[in-house]
Amino acid sequence: MYLMSVCVLAIALSVLVIAMTWAGASGLLPANGFVGIRTPAILRSERAWQAAHRAALPVIAPACTLVIIAAGASIIAAPARRLTAVGLALLGTIAVIGLTSLIPAQKAAHSVNRAPDDTPTSL
């Protein structure tokens, strides 16, 4: 029962991560200090926040989808094999989502922060 709870939690968190990254990329989730990819460069501006989440989404969505598939498969699999599937799902979550999505997000935020602001100023 414990392993099934872990699998259900992994599925729920993966869906939540995809939804929040999409919301940050689309502008529905404004920059904040609680939810989303948060580094000093990303939090510097709303444009950097959206650019970072747009850049991270192509990495996060497939990685979380793989976690959902692995966790779902471990619910169906024989009990002796569940631990391996859960371990692989968690390892994939940490390695792929945590590290790889940060690279394009940081690059996008830095490029936005270096670019001149194209908002018109009033006279």
Q: How do residues 36-53 score in pLDDT, each as one tens digit? A: 999 999 999 999 999 999
* Total number of domains in the chain: 1
Say if CB 37 and CB 102 are below 8 A apart.
yes
Lowest-pLDDT choice from 7-11, 21-25, 49-53, 77-81: 77-81
Query: Could you tell me the maximum CA-CA distance found in the chain, to the nearest angstrom?
Result: 70
Name the residue with higher pLDDT: 87 or 55. 55
Q: Is 103 within a domain?
A: yes
Contacts of 113 by beta carbon, 8 Å cutoff, 6+ apart: 41, 44, 45, 48
Total-model pTM: 0.78
Mean pLDDT, residues 77-99? 65
Range of 45's domain?
2-114
Q: SS3 for 76-112, per residue?
A: HCCHHHHHHHHHHHHHHHHHHHHHHCHHHHHHHHHHH
Please give the pLDDT value at position 76. Answer: 80
